[in-house]
């Protein structure tokens, strides 16, 4: 499930490093291709709302296999289009189907025993995080070796294999949810009103994913301009530092099961905030930058695992509806962060961008440390002390 989640999530990003080659091949401007690729994240948000809740109602193996199969077809279609308009359409379909990672995390939350839910979620979340960070790296490498069309066909073939694996490995029995599909979709907005844990988790999660995207979008702009003027390939390699932070997801999951999310989230946010501040002034030193990026990602990945475990615990028998609502808001914060980070780094410089990210993390920490009647997910065996 973790490997499949990594693959599905990564398919939003592989064409980004090859955007100039795509534009040349289609005989259009880079700006037009950029707009087409932006349809991927838009489609992803649609998939979060429309497709993720299906795994609670129908057999997860069949639902996710169908999504991976559709994703494979969309990627293969992307490899043969000859107009930017068609590219936009198939990229949007691929983006919607790439929400399989959120579906897999929902299934993991439902199947896991309560005392190990966060640990198992940490393993699947590690895959999603790996997909976010490596999609551009692998896509750029394959595009150099095979061309951008060949690269997409490789991703399509991998998704076809993942579809077969989902049919074989995931449950074939339908979920226990009796609520109709349309009723489930209509209930997503009201879920935030009725469930305080979802509301608070979504708010703080949005703040730190905003900060995450501010840093990664801003640092790309900062490194591409003087005095660095790094190439796109060299800038992309900085993402390898973030991969080391993925190990934190599994550690955070196990720790959350033992001591509860209330203790894990502040530690992760503190690590990330300190790293962001140091990053703001340490960019000229490559070693410091790489170390801070690793700590930054580790802190936020740890907080995400603990936070998402509280969402999946709201209704362990049918977690996908709450996970869908949470991820929609979470991803919206990331989209704003990407746009804001790039613009801020260009207008005000890298130090101001990093400090803004640290401030957003500070807001998330304040929401966590000073809650208003916040019910927390507690581990089954080791109860936290009185509040």
Which among 150, 175, 200 is the end of a domain? Answer: 175
Q: Same domain for 150 and 272?
A: no
**Cα–Cα separations (whole angstroms), residue 223 to 34, 123, 198, 229, 233:** 20, 32, 37, 6, 11
The token pair that represents 94 in the structure block = 């691929």
CA pair distance 380, 257, nearest whole angstrom: 8
pLDDT band, very low/low/confident/very high, at 179 (cuts 50, 70, 90): low
Same domain, 190 and 159: no
Buried (b) or exposed (e) across 146-181, using 16+ Cβ within 10 A?
Answer: eebbebbbbbbebbbebbebbbeebeeeebebeeee
Within a domain: residue 381?
no
One domain for residues 101 and 185: no
Q: What confidence tier does 370 reach under pLDDT thresholds 50, 70, 90?
A: confident
- Mean pLDDT to the nearest integer, 183-210: 86
Burial of 199 (0-12, 13-18, 19+ CB in 10 A): middle
Is residue 152 domain-shared with residue 250, that is, in the same domain?
no
Supply the pLDDT for residue 233: 66
What pLDDT, on a 0 to 100 scale, did the predictor assign at position 379? 43
Predicted confidence (pLDDT) at residue 354 exceeds the cutoff of 90: yes
Is pLDDT at 382 greater than 60 in this prediction? no
* Residue 384, in any domain of the structure: no
Residues 293 and 188 in one domain: yes
- For the segment 265-301, what is each residue's pLDDT rounded down to a tens digit? 999 999 999 999 999 999 999 999 999 999 999 999 8
The pLDDT value given to residue 332? 86
Q: Assess if residue 117 is contained within a domain.
A: yes
The pLDDT of residue 178? 59
Domain that holds residue 252: 181-373
Mean pLDDT of 50-59: 88
Lowest-pLDDT range of 164-178, 205-219, 320-334, 359-373: 164-178
> What pLDDT does 158 receive?
97
Residue 92 CB contacts under 8 Å (≥ 6 apart), including other chains:
39, 40, 42, 43, 46
Task: Determine the Cα–Cα distance for residues 321 and 187; give it in Å rounded to an integer.
Answer: 9
- pLDDT at residue number 343: 84
Share of the chain above pLDDT 90, in %: 41
Lowest mean pLDDT among 133-137, 153-157, 219-223: 133-137
CB contact burial 307-322 (16+ within 10 A = b; e otherwise) = bbbbbbbbbeebbbbb
The CATH code of the domain that includes 28 is: 1.20.1250.20
Domain boundary among 135, 156, 175: 175
In a domain, 380, yes or no: no
Helix then strand count (H, E) for the chain reads: 17, 0
Q: Does 280 or 338 have the greater pLDDT score?
A: 280
**Average pLDDT value for residue range 149-174:** 92
Kindly give, in sequence order, each residue whose CB lies less than 8 Å from that of residue 373, ignoring residues fewer than 6 positions away.
196
Q: How many separate domains does the chain show?
A: 2
Residue-level pLDDT at 384: 38
Q: 285 phi and psi, to 5 degrees?
A: -95, 110
Q: Quick one: angle between helices 247-259 and 286-312, nearest 10?
A: 40
219 and 136 share one domain: no
Q: Is the pLDDT at 93 greater than 90, yes or no? A: yes
Q: Express the helix, strand and coil content of the chain in percent, nearest 5 each.
A: 80, 0, 20
- Interatomic CA distance for residues 92 and 256, integer angstroms: 36
pLDDT number for residue 8: 95
How confident is the model over 120-136, as a mean pLDDT? 85
| pTM of the predicted model as reported, rounded to 2 decimal places | 0.78
pLDDT band at 24 (very low <50, low <70, confident <90, very high): confident
Query: Considering the domain boundaries, does residue 387 fall inside one?
Result: no
Question: Counting Cβ atoms within 10 Å, is residue 222 exposed (0-12), middle (13-18) or buried (19+)?
Answer: buried
Q: Are residues 277 and 147 in the same domain?
A: no
Same domain, 131 and 201: no
pLDDT tier for residue 318 given thresholds of 50, 70 and 90:
confident
Domain assignment present for residue 378? The answer is no
- Pair (204, 291) in one structural domain: yes
Out of 141, 175, 209, a domain closes at: 175
In-domain check, residue 67: yes
Of 89 and 111, the structure prediction assigns the larger pLDDT to: 89
Q: Indicate whether 62 pLDDT > 70.
A: yes
Q: Which pLDDT belongs to residue 136?
A: 77
Average per-residue pLDDT in the chain? 86
Both 26 and 170 in a single domain?
yes
What confidence tens digit (pLDDT) does each residue in 230-278 have?
Answer: 876 677 778 788 777 777 787 888 898 888 888 899 999 999 999 999 9
209 and 273 belong to one structural domain: yes
Mean pLDDT of 56-71: 92
For residue 379, tell me if it sits in a domain: no
Task: State the pLDDT confidence band at 168, using cuts at 50, 70 and 90.
Answer: very high
DSSP 88: H
Is residue 194 domain-shared with residue 103, that is, in the same domain? no
Band the pLDDT of 70: cuts 50, 70, 90.
very high
Give the pLDDT confidence score for residue 16 in this predicted structure.
Answer: 76
């Amino acid at each position: 499930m973790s490997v499949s989640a990594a693959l599905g999530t990564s398919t939003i990003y592989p064409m980004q490093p090859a955007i100039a080659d795509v534009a040349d091949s289609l005989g259009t401007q880079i700006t037009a291709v950029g707009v087409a690729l932006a349809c991927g994240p838009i489609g992803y948000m649609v998939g979060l709302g429309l497709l993720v809740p299906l795994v609670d109602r129908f057999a997860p193996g069949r639902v996710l296999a169908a999504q991976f199969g559709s994703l494979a077809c969309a990627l293969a279609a992307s490899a043969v289009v000859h107009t930017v308009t068609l590219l936009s359409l198939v990229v949007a379909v691929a983006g919607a189907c790439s929400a399989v990672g959120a579906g897999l995390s929902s299934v993991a939350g439902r199947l896991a025993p309560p005392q190990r839910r966060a640990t198992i979620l940490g393993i699947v979340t590690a895959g999603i995080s790996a997909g976010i960070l490596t999609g551009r790296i692998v896509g750029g490498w394959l595009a150099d070796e095979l061309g951008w069309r060949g690269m997409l066909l490789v991703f399509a073939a991998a998704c076809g294999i993942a579809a077969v694996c989902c049919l074989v490995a995931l449950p074939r029995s339908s979920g226990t949810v009796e609520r109709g599909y349309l009723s489930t979709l209509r209930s997503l907005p009201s879920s935030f009103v009725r469930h305080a844990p979802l509301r608070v988790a979504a708010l703080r999660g949005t703040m730190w994913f905003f900060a995450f995207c501010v840093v990664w979008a801003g640092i790309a702009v900062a490194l591409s301009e003087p005095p660095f003027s790094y190439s796109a390939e060299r800038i992309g390699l900085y993402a390898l530092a973030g991969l080391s932070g993925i190990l934190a997801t599994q550690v955070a999951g196990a720790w959350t099961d033992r001591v509860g999310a209330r203790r894990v989230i502040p530690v992760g946010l503190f690590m990330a905030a300190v790293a962001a501040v140091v990053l703001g002034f340490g960019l000229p030193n490559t070693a410091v930058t790489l170390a801070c990026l690793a700590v930054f990602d580790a802190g936020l990945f740890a907080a995400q695992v603990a936070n998402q475990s509280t969402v999946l615990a709201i209704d362990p028998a049918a977690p996908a509806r709450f996970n869908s609502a949470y991820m929609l808001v979470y991803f919206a914060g990331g989209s704003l962060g990407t746009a804001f980070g790039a613009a801020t780094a260009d207008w005000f410089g890298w130090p101001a961008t990093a400090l803004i990210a640290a401030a957003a993390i500070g807001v998330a920490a304040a929401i966590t440390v000073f809650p208003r009647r916040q019910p927390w997910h507690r581990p089954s065996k080791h109860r936290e002390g009185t509040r």
